[in-house]
Amino acid sequence: MYRLIYVLLPMVLILVIMFVGMRIGRQRGYTLGPDTIVRCSEGHLFTTIWMPGGSFKAIRLGWSRYQHCPVGDHWTFVTPVRDDELTDAERLTAEQYRDGPIP
């Protein structure tokens, strides 16, 4: 019984953190999840999977990540972009460049 609790409790906590993080991000105007538009430190826009509390292909540093930018083919810091900060042209540009399928 206790072994099951030690396995389930961390999994439940991770899911709660992810849910709360996504809810807060969406309330602040960000679209988080599988098609999140991010901007790298050089200004490139691309689409990636952004799940609060979890990342396998990037180093998480608070609200930023250090990951590969497919636009400039370099490693850089990226952050999500709020929906109201994007023009239609920027959305189209970001959708042309997609990061890999792993969060």
Average pLDDT of the residues in 28-55 = 86
Residue 48 has pLDDT above 80, yes or no: yes
25-36 per-position pLDDT tens digit:
777 777 777 889
Radius of gyration of the chain (CA): 15
pTM comes to 0.74
85 to 21, 31, 37, 38: CA distances (angstroms): 20, 12, 11, 11
The pLDDT of residue 68 = 94
Any bridge partners for residue 38, and if so which? 46, 80
The pLDDT of residue 87 = 94
53-98 per-position pLDDT tens digit:
667 778 888 778 999 999 999 999 999 999 889 999 999 999 999 8
